[in-house]
Amino acid sequence: MTEQNPVFIPGPTNIPDRLRNAMSMQTADHRAPDFVKLLSPVLEDLKKVFKTESGKVITFPSSGTGGWEAAVTNTLSPGDKVLAARFGMFSHRWIDLCQRHNLDVEVIECEWGSGAPADLYGERLAADKSHEIKAVLVTHNETATGVRSDVGAVRRAMDAAGHPAMLYVDCVSSLASMDFRMDEWGVDLAVSGSQKGFMLAVGMAIVGVSQKALAACEMAKCPRCFFDFRDMADANAKGGFPYTPPLQLIYGLRESLNMLFEEGLENVFARHFRIAEGVRAAVGAWGMRLCAKSPDLYSDTVSAIYVPKGFDSNVLTDHAFDAYGVSFGIGLGPMSGKAFRIGHLGSLTDVMALSGIAAIEMAMKDLNYPIELGSGVSAAQEYFRKAFGAIQSKAA
């Protein structure tokens, strides 16, 4: 029965039965004429989630990391200079990937818990008079620290500097859960995956590609084969794949998009904000603090929470799993042992969030944390009751 417990990690997320059923299908011929009737509408509908009309969506059988690699190798050449900020584990990993592809990475070092520094990006780009920087890398939602960055502010800084660099955004843990505006923010490459906001199994990298980025493919010299945009785009245009597609995941993605559109994207974003606020109310009631430095940085998909001094967050997450069969996110990198994470994205409701808050609260009390049992649950309940009251009043 323990498999019925939801997970509270920031991905992979809980898979609704509706999507499990959609993916539970017999093998079909992906070269049959009807495959195009499945694939083409899915790719078009994904553009609505990215909020792009001019861009193209390209998918690969992979995790989000494969999407990172595809974005880099299709548009850049060895030796090209890129500008990136490091303020968490996932921004660090993107930097590492670029370095392994022999790119010249200029890193802006930031304190963990802060966001992408638009002002520092702007200063560095304004100083690059010869336009050596070819790409700017931004992690929209830093999953390790629970920080959401202002991508629009980075684009405004780039425009103010008059710099032609392309803007690459990691939106793996934000897309389909928080508002993302590819065209409005001038994003050239937006990288996501199937296993978070889309509520599916791991296995599809989903990349939004601007026309500028597509044009850059012709000049890029980084080796690529499996992740070649041109091969995939050409095959997609004819209704197919250049190799065997993850058919079950594509059927799942079709149903996931149906669910998102039925709820309405703005309602999806509001639900994630509401659940996140309930979690944040609980954290405040426990007398703890978030890793995110200020409210404008709070993520609506994951909260990273510092434990009190003298306690080990890894012991806490292990105990929650061993005693209550519930998974929470561990602290990554420098936060290991110092913080745990509550993932609150994807297939999650306010009531499910309350079960997670209650479970981690019991685990903390078992380990003699200085909290009052029920305090976090009560604080979240009060917030949710008021939030639902406001929704009902608005609907009346």
DSSP string, 268-295: HHHHHHHHHHHHHHHHHHHT-EESSSSG
In this predicted structure, what is the pLDDT of residue 35?
86
Taking 70 as the threshold, does the pLDDT of residue 78 lie above it? yes
In this predicted structure, what is the pLDDT of residue 39?
93
Q: Which residue has the tokens 């305090």?
A: 375
- What angle in degrees, to the nearest 10, is found between the helix axes of 350-366 and 313-324? 110
Residue 143 and residue 190: Cα distance in Å, rounded? 16
3-class SS at 38? Answer: helix
pLDDT tens for each residue of 135-147: 999 999 999 999 9
In this predicted structure, what is the pLDDT of residue 3?
67
Which residues on adjacent β-strands are paired with residue 209?
Answer: 56, 189
The dotted CATH code for 266-395 is 3.90.1150.10
User: What are the CA-CA distances from residue 394 to residues 278, 326, 381 (Å)?
Assistant: 20, 35, 20
Least Cα distance to 121 among 86, 70, 172, 79 occurs for 86
Tell me what percent of the residues of the chain surpass a pLDDT of 70.
99
Q: Domain 17-261: which topology?
A: Aspartate Aminotransferase; domain 2 (3.40.640)
Identity (one letter) of the amino acid at 359?
Answer: A
Q: Give the pLDDT band of residue 34 (cuts 50, 70, 90).
A: confident
- For CATH 3.90.1150.10, the residue range(s) in the chain are 266-395
Taking 90 as the threshold, does the pLDDT of residue 393 lie above it? no
Taking 90 as the threshold, does the pLDDT of residue 51 lie above it? yes
Least Cα distance to 173 among 190, 154, 185, 152 occurs for 190
Tell me the average pLDDT across 213-221. Answer: 97
What backbone phi and psi angles, to 5 degrees, belong to 13?
-100, 175
182 neighbors 190 (Cβ within 8 angstroms): yes
268 neighbors 362 (Cβ within 8 angstroms): no
Taking 60 as the threshold, does the pLDDT of residue 352 lie above it? yes
Identity (one letter) of the amino acid at 292?
Answer: A
User: 109 exposed, middle or buried (CB, 10 Å; 0-12, 13-18, 19+)?
Assistant: exposed
In this predicted structure, what is the pLDDT of residue 2?
53
